[in-house]
Amino acid sequence: MKKMLLFIIMSSYVFGVMAQQKEPVEYADPLLGTSESRWMLNPGATMPFGMVQLAPDNQGGVWKSGYEYTLNNIGGFSHIHSWTMAGLSVMPTVGALNTRRGPTDGPTTGWTTGYRSRIYKETEKASPGYYGVKLMNGDITTELTSTTRAGFFRFTIPEEEDLHILLDLDIPFENTAEILDAKITKVNDKEIEGYSKQKWSWNEYIVHFVVRFNKPIESFGGWKGNQNIKDVNEVAGKGRMGAFANFKTAKNEVLLMQTAISLVSIEQARLNLDTEMNPFNWNFDAVKDNAHKVWNNLLSKIQVQGGTETDKKKFYSNLYRSYVARTTWSDVNGKYVDVNEKVQQTKPDSPIYGSDALWNTFWNLNQLWALVNPDLTNNWVNSLLEIYNTGGWLPKGPAGIEYSGIMEASHEIPLIVGAYQKGIRNFDAENAFRAMLHQQTTPGVVTPEGGFAGNKFFEAYMKLGYVPTEEGQVSNTLEYAYDDWCVSQMAKALGKKNEYEQFIKRAGNYKNVFDTATKYIRMKHRDGSWVKEWNPYCCTSFSGPGYLEGNAWQYSFFNPHDVQGILNLMGKEEFNNRLEEGFKKSTRFNFNAEGDLYDRVPINHGNQPNMQAAWLFNYSGKPWLTQNYTREIMDRYYGSTPLHGWLGDEDEGQMGAWYVMAAMGLFETEGGTSVKPFYEIGSPIFEKVTITLNPAYYSGKTFTIEAHHVSEKNRYIQSALLDGKPLNKPWFYHAELVDGGSLVLEMGPEPNVNWGSKSGDAPPSMSMPVTSKKSKK
């Protein structure tokens, strides 16, 4: 019995040591949340902000297309998974040649229905920078890894086969593109090159590519529409088309294939390939190990101790997602194609990025990137300014380096301002201010390709101080006012008094659409009268009047820079009661408006407009409710399986970044844009978090957050020390973090209603400026 007991104790110890020795990258699971995920979020092999995002696709051209975990087939492995963009799908097949992809829900073992293949689900594996699976078609084990701009495929074929590697240019996805012109050429026995000029709506781009193999091609051909063309060296056309390379394989043969892409030219794609892949000398495992190392170095910038294995999996998977979905579009030598379709040259170490909108990223990605990777934040600022320099406007969501016009306001401004205020200043600040000034004083315009640059409905906003319902969404008033606040803070930091006065006044425009009778942000006519057919849960809008992807209830709390201003208008009792009732109602929905029915749920964490809601109690004298409800969101909204990772629309890492910040117990409602940025405090889930600070930007080496006795029940702060001194407010300055030190929290099972709840304890707001130099008491 003693021996058995000793064995159990030793086994528990060994398991504990092994668990501690796991690297952060080993906790990150690219398969997490891949059921109901967007095109840009998948289990594929990519690097941080990778140009090449190699991933399996198994859906058609539908909303949330790309990879769906519950579908047991694959229709190809494509290179580009950027918002509104796709390119170059690869599929290995054996037996009779079939160049039709086939239906997503049809039989996939017979050749007559297409080349789509079922998979052995138990063989599917994914880790940062790697994906592998065995296809039922030919039992081909297909493995993917990548560098930033190049991909690497390893196909293991168990039997002697006629193997076909299909290169398909017609890829169904959320925004399926029309192929206007394309050509694929066999350059020699081991290399293929080509391009595909494609367009969706305003986004026209050319994907150039180079493909090479480690053994000679037996024969080559292609297809146009339903017509196969064999034994040629070139295939050209438009619409549905592609090419195939045929091989004879021996038993258990391994075929290697390397690829690279560029939006500039085939020569640039080849340069990307040679530069990034040649150093690895056809060693697939070396490329995979390199990706593993790069990801681990990034994820290791935050080290966590305590918590469960599930907590760590959720934490590092969410951190991984915060860097995985946005795209580098400049080549290894700095060449890229600008908004005017001209080739430009920038510094190779200053990449040009593409993405969906930066809509409300001030509540997630901005603050995470600036804290953990200020160098990447600086790159983002320079990328935005480069697009301004060549195109004349700051971009909202520069997919493919175009003016998409996607989403409202110009929330790239908070990213730039927040960077400057935090000392991330490796950019031309005067030029940045000119760009923001232009953005916030000039009505937006339709671009030649049909996109939009600048702010819609802006002329009315500048004239009336709000967006009337005849023009567009009333919620734009709030978003414009916040960007005006950001400009005012940049002006203040740069000593521009006149501009500061101009924009700090405009930052109060949210008051123009607050109805003091109903105590809600309300739709308003051009003549100043309120819209009558209205209620707090009405009028979600995607275009036209109403509230952009939200309702009046949610937007009445949307005022990042002046929460105190809304408290003054609404009244503290009404503010707290309404907010708490909203959380209680939304708990049973796991804080998500399923089916994008935004009108139905008060707290909809599955979309951007009220991701700050749980943190607002820090401003209203009830910080223990912030501690409770941030925990509730982390527990209920966020999961740890492929079927439940993030509910709603995990928009290119935004929900992931929110989780990371909240799990550390930190947040910035005003987006870090004040002249003196600050962090609000929530309820950390780990006993200790260590943030390694970048010495090129921050003087401290590390900052630690300790939560003594923390657990699921012990979620409430009893007391706090900042750098060894008592902290009695639920916030502290960014400068106090980045000079190194620690935040130590004593946690307990019941709220300490006296901590952080006194008058004057609330974080700063525009309507309640803080004059003291330090937040410590």
> Which two tokens mark 488?
């005012």
SS (H, E, C) 705-721: EEEECCCCCCCEEEEEE
End position of a domain, from candidates 278, 297, 316: 297
Residues 106 and 176 both lie in one domain: yes
Q: How many residues does the chain have?
A: 777
pLDDT higher than threshold 80 for residue 775: no
State the angle between helix axes of 654-664 and 309-321 in degrees (0 to 180), rounded to the nearest 10.
130
Residues 282 and 319 both lie in one domain: no
Residues 206 and 264 both lie in one domain: yes
Residues 323 and 246 both lie in one domain: no
Residues 222 and 84 both lie in one domain: yes
Residues 123 and 230 both lie in one domain: yes
In 683-752, at which residue ranges do the beta strands (DSSP E only) sit? Answer: 688-692, 702-708, 716-722, 725-726, 731-733, 741-748
pTM of the model: 0.95
CA distance 708 to 393: 49
Residues 733 and 714 both lie in one domain: yes
pLDDT tens profile 709-768: 999 999 999 999 999 999 999 999 999 999 999 999 999 999 999 999 999 999 999 998
Contact assessment for residue 480 and residue 555, using Cβ atoms and an 8 Å cutoff: no
Instruction: Using alpha carbons, select from 516, 507, 587, 599 the residue that is nearest to residue 551.
Output: 599
pLDDT higher than threshold 50 for residue 9: no
Give the pLDDT mean for 593-606: 88
Give the pLDDT mean for 492-521: 98
Q: Residue 224 is part of a domain; what is its CATH number?
A: 2.70.98.10
Locate all alpha helices (DSSP H) within 201-283, ordered by sequence. Answer: 266-277
Partnered with residue 705 across adjacent β-strands are 689, 743
Residue 393 lies in a domain: no
Percent of residues in the chain assigned helix, strand, coil, to nearest 5: 30, 25, 45
pLDDT higher than threshold 60 for residue 19: no
Write out the residue range of the structural domain in which residue 233 sits: 34-297
Residues 645 and 724 both lie in one domain: yes
| CA atoms within 13 A of residue 17's CA, in its CB half-sphere | 5
Helix/strand/coil for 402: coil
- What is the total count of domains within the chain? 2
What's the one-letter identity of residue 624? W
Residues 202 and 315 both lie in one domain: no
Which pLDDT does position 392 carry in this prediction? 97
CA distance 424 to 421: 7
pLDDT tens profile 628-681: 999 999 999 999 999 999 888 888 999 999 999 999 999 999 999 999 999 999
* Token pair 């290399």 in the structure block, residue: 191
Residue 714 lies in a domain: yes
> Which two tokens mark 65?
């297309």
Give the pLDDT mean for 375-385: 98
CA distance 206 to 454: 25
Instruction: Using alpha carbons, select from 316, 361, 372 the residue that is nearest to residue 645.
Output: 316
Residues 171 and 308 both lie in one domain: no
Which pLDDT does position 449 carry in this prediction? 86
Q: What is the DSSP string of 61-130?
A: SSTT-S--TT--EE-EEEEEEETTEEEEEEEEEESS-------TTS--SSGGG-S-EEEEEEEEEEETTE
CA distance 654 to 238: 36
Tell me how crowded residue 258 is: count the other CB atoms within 10 A of its CB: 25
Residue 159 lies in a domain: yes
Residue 493 lies in a domain: no
DSSP label at residue 531: P
Instruction: Using alpha carbons, select from 590, 686, 598 the residue that is nearest to residue 639.
Output: 590
Partnered with residue 168 across adjacent β-strands are 89, 242
pLDDT tens profile 184-223: 999 999 999 999 999 999 999 999 999 999 999 999 999 9
* Token pair 């967007």 in the structure block, residue: 38
Residue 212 lies in a domain: yes
Radius of gyration of the chain (CA): 27
Residues 628 and 671 both lie in one domain: yes
Run of H or E residues at 45? strand 45-46
CA distance 490 to 670: 14
CA distances from 617 to 177, 630, 753 (A): 45, 11, 12
Residue 119 lies in a domain: yes
Which pLDDT does position 112 carry in this prediction? 52
Residues 627 and 774 both lie in one domain: yes
CA distance 650 to 647: 7
Which pLDDT does position 106 carry in this prediction? 59
CA distance 44 to 264: 24
Contact assessment for residue 68 and residue 59, using Cβ atoms and an 8 Å cutoff: yes
pLDDT higher than threshold 70 for residue 11: no
DSSP label at residue 311: H
Which pLDDT does position 21 carry in this prediction? 80
CA distance 5 to 268: 64
Instruction: Using alpha carbons, select from 646, 516, 534 the residue that is nearest to residue 574.
Output: 516
Give the pLDDT mean for 238-248: 97
Residue 272 lies in a domain: yes
Q: Residue 313 is part of a domain; what is its CATH number?
A: 3.30.2080.10
pLDDT tens profile 71-98: 999 999 999 999 999 999 999 999 999 9
Residue 726 lies in a domain: yes
pLDDT tens profile 120-169: 999 999 999 999 999 999 999 999 999 999 999 999 999 999 999 999 99
The percentage of the chain sitting over the pLDDT mark of 90, rounded to a whole number, equals 91
CA distances from 484 to 96, 391, 437, 465, 657 (A): 62, 22, 9, 12, 25
